[in-house]
Amino acid sequence: MGGQTGEGHTGKLTATIPNTGYPVLTGLEKAGISGKHIASITAVSAPTVSKWRSGNSAMPKITVVFLTLVLANLIEDMEALERRLEEEGCAWNDMFGDQLHDLQALLREQEIYNAAHPPAVVREGAVLFRAWLVMSDGLPTTMTKRNDYVVLTDHMTAPAAE
């Protein structure tokens, strides 16, 4: 389950963390992001995501950082929508307010775990997030794995997260 932190000869970071419930996966699920979609944006199979959720497999640290940033981005979008609705005098549905509060709590919990990650892992997760955000404009985008790299377009690649 828990892998070691380090770099192989290919420069690919191979660190994983043991499953602690992955608050980020719970948060993404509560935000309406399916396991199938998580699989597509992390270039793994849906069964792999299911194993992460169930604790039968450890998620690579880079992937945890990447998904944490995806969740933070979703929360930021929800907060912006809440502010815009308030400015326009519209009521913010309590259900959405509760969901936002739950997502913020899960993000804070995941960030506690992420604080122990080595800087190189955080950097690589941020690189993946940045590339995903640029390519998707925050919308669902599929990544594919090719030769230990996640291919975002024909001209932009980032190190694989698994």
What is the C-alpha separation between 159 and 12, in angstroms, rounded?
Answer: 7
Q: Is the pLDDT of residue 132 over 70?
A: yes
Give the type of residue at 73. N
Q: Is the pLDDT of residue 54 over 80?
A: yes
Task: Look up tokens 């690589």; give the residue.
Answer: 124
Q: What pLDDT sits at residue 156?
A: 38
Q: What pLDDT sits at residue 51?
A: 93
Instruction: Say which residue, 93 or 50, is predicted with more confidence.
Output: 50
**Beta bridge partners of residue 146, listed in sequence order:** 149
What is the C-alpha separation between 136 and 114, in angstroms, rounded?
Answer: 24
Average pLDDT, the chain: 77
DSSP single-letter state for residue 36: H
Please give the model's pTM, rounded to 2 decimal places: 0.72
Left (φ > 0), alpha (ψ -120 to 50) or beta: where does 6 sit?
left
* Mean local confidence (pLDDT), 19-45: 89
Confidence category of residue 2, pLDDT binned at 50, 70, 90: very low
Instruction: Say which residue, 109 or 21, is predicted with more confidence.
Output: 109
Residue 10 dihedral angles phi and psi, to the nearest 5°: -80, -10
